Amino acid sequence: MTALATPEKTRARGVAPTAGLRRPRRYGRALLYVALLLGAIPTILPFVWLVRSALMTDTQMFVAPPEWIPDPFQWSNFGEALTAQPFGLYLLNTVIIAVVCVIGTVFTCSVAAFSFARLRWKGRNVVFALLLTGVMLPYAVTIIPTFVMWQELGAIDTFVPLTVPAWFAGAGGGVFNVFLLRQFFLTIPFELDEAAYIDGASPWRVYWTVVMPLSRPAIVVVTIFTFIGTWNDFLGPLLYLQDESKYTLSLGLASFQSVFITQWGYLMAASAAVIAPIVALFFFLQRYFIEGVTLTGIKN
Amino acid sequence: MRRFEARWGVLMALPAILGFVIFTVGPMIASFFFSLTDWQVGGQPSFVGLDNYTALADDALFWKSLSATTYYTLGAVPLTLLVSFAVAMLLNQKVRGLALWRTIFYLPTLVPAIANVVLWIWIFNPDFGLLNSLLRQAGLPTSQWVYSEEMAVPSLIIMSTWGFGNTMVIFLAGLQGVPRHLYEAVSIDGGGPWRRFWHVTLPMMTPTIFYNLVVGVVGTFQVFTQAYVMTEGGPNQATLFYVYYIFRKAFTESEMGYASALAWVLFMIIMVVTFLMFRNARRWVYYEMAGAR
């Protein structure tokens, strides 16, 4: 981040800092923050709009020019919206699906990544290259046959189609996790494995006691992104879940929206409630988020 | 080398390999065979050869969906790249409170697609929505946004640009990886900020730009949720995005054969476009480490 600033600094020092040279630099700094603010305001505004609408009465919402501070604060919007449909149940369903997917993805992807990174077997590299082609595949090509398959297996309206693929290394786009973990595993010294093998350890033991404990950052990244991906998934639940008692938060919010189509206070309250957990998670794990996104970009 | 190593190797890779066969290769092949049939759900598929594909050429909605999706992609991808690159450049200066700024710009990407849609329906509301309220206060002309045929796609482009945070973080990481000595070299030669940007930053960033471009194009070409929840493809099919059209054919009209043909055409389009982008990349993407890779 200092890449740009440093050369300028050294130059300024060499030229002798006169007042004339300093002032434009200060203007430059001010300009920089003005530009950032100009970008930040439209980014934040929709959130402000969301929160203020979630806390307003309908009468206050429909005035022109718009008011920004709710008066009174209509906290009951949250209570009424979240009890109008069983959002607690949706939350539970979402958490169940997300947790099962995270465990499955982390386990099967890390095991495969271990095999591709640290075990030698014939055809390994070819198989790995083949798997990677799955990352670029448009999901639309596979949804119809996959749907038909689950229908034949009688798995419609269960969590099976939403969770089982995760236990096969995420399937499809999830292969990216294998790639990410493999890259990370390759950075761990191979001498550790050798030492363990000499002590008579099995590859499983090396995976579990040597490689995994050293790979926590990569595991956290895969966990976060799988969790978010499952939490936010809409098409999957839309295709496979029918009974309202099995809805996820996303699907629940969509059906809520179609019922309370113009009840903006309720709609915003429900949306805010669906967004809040993810945002909270982000604030706790911020470093890993940014690291994770960065990792996905750089490794390509 | 060791025999047990090979056995364990295959065993541990097995879930991934099976997943690839069951959930990727299998469905792809099946999808191709479906596309050669006339198949209503509940009935028996009957083989029709390439009829579905030839029917596509006369399907006005197919062309409509193709042009709507292309329009959306051509708008959303460059705009997102531009905005996220600009903001990343700003954040790459010595900014105080970097973590806070980064958080602000990243936040929109966390919003679940469906909550995003619900929020933006309200923002686009012509009477009391955020956008028109602000425009009216500023004395500017208002718009019908997603409710008008002309503005529907541009509206969705604006909405998608709001989520530029992911792209921005990748750009930021790229910018921080540009070797400092290159900037110093330009400065020593008397080059100013513009030169530094043009002769160092931009060339060094081309691989990152290329990555974001490919991911962006492939991603936006498969836009679905907005069309499904927000506009239902309207008004007057203006936002009939391709994947939404596939969904409608397959799961509303239950024409599985025709929908599969649509899906395969999408697959081929994406492959061709990706291939062209990669081939074209040789001309403008600069890989310093080309030999080392």
Cα separations in angstroms, B275 against A193, B140, B210, B271:
40, 44, 13, 6
Domain that holds residue B211: 59-284
The pLDDT value given to residue B216:
92
A251/A257 Cα distance (integer angstroms): 10
Tokens representing A19 are 């007042």
Residue B25 in any domain: the answer is no
Structural contact between residues B217 and B77, judged by C-beta atoms closer than 8 angstroms: yes
Indicate yes or no: CB of B110 within 8 angstroms of CB of A275: yes
Q: For residue B291, what pLDDT band results from cuts at 50, 70 and 90?
A: very low
Element (H, E) at B47: strand B46-47
Residue B278 in any domain: the answer is yes
The pLDDT value given to residue A12:
41
* A207-248 confidence digits (pLDDT tens): 999 999 998 888 988 888 888 889 888 999 999 999 999 999
The pLDDT value given to residue A9:
41
* A155-174 confidence digits (pLDDT tens): 999 999 999 999 998 766 67
A148/B42 Cα distance (integer angstroms): 11
Residue B27 in any domain: the answer is no
Indicate yes or no: CB of A165 within 8 angstroms of CB of B9: no
User: With contacts defined as CB-CB under 8 Å, which chain A residues touch B242?
Assistant: 140
Q: Which residue has the tokens 């905005």?
A: B83
A194/A173 Cα distance (integer angstroms): 33
pLDDT at A59 over 90: no
The pLDDT value given to residue A8:
42
Mean pLDDT of chain B: 89
Across the range B97-105, mean pLDDT stands at 87
User: With contacts defined as CB-CB under 8 Å, which chain B residues touch A30?
Assistant: none
pLDDT at A281 over 80: yes
User: With contacts defined as CB-CB under 8 Å, which chain B residues touch A139?
Assistant: 222
Which CATH number fits the domain that encloses residue B183?
A: 1.10.3720.10
Interface of B with A in 20-79 (CB under 8 A): 20, 22-24, 26-28, 30-31, 34
Q: How far is B277 from chain A (nearest CA, A)?
A: 14
User: With contacts defined as CB-CB under 8 Å, which chain B residues touch A167?
Assistant: 15
Indicate yes or no: CB of A144 within 8 angstroms of CB of B93: no
Optimal mutation site among A125, A141, A211, interface B, most CBs of chain B within 10 A = A141
Indicate yes or no: CB of B114 within 8 angstroms of CB of A7: no
Domain count, chain B: 1
pLDDT at A196 over 50: yes
Across the range A129-158, mean pLDDT stands at 89
B107/B62 Cα distance (integer angstroms): 35
The pLDDT value given to residue B68:
95
User: With contacts defined as CB-CB under 8 Å, which chain B residues touch A35?
Assistant: 90
Q: For residue A113, what pLDDT band results from cuts at 50, 70 and 90?
A: very high
The pLDDT value given to residue A19:
43
Q: How far is B102 from chain A (nearest CA, A)?
A: 9
Across the range B120-146, mean pLDDT stands at 89
Residue B34 in any domain: the answer is no
Q: For residue A4, what pLDDT band results from cuts at 50, 70 and 90?
A: very low
Residue B7 in any domain: the answer is no
The pLDDT value given to residue B288:
61
Q: For residue A6, what pLDDT band results from cuts at 50, 70 and 90?
A: very low
Residue B201 in any domain: the answer is yes
* B216-234 confidence digits (pLDDT tens): 998 899 999 888 888 888 7
Greater model confidence, B102 or B155: B155
Indicate yes or no: CB of A119 within 8 angstroms of CB of B93: no
Domains parsed from chain A with CATH numbers = 5-79 (no CATH), 85-259 (1.10.3720.10)
Its sign, for the CA torsion B230, B234, B235, B238, is positive
**Of residues A250, A279, A282, nearest to B114 (C-beta):** A250
Residue B219 in any domain: the answer is yes
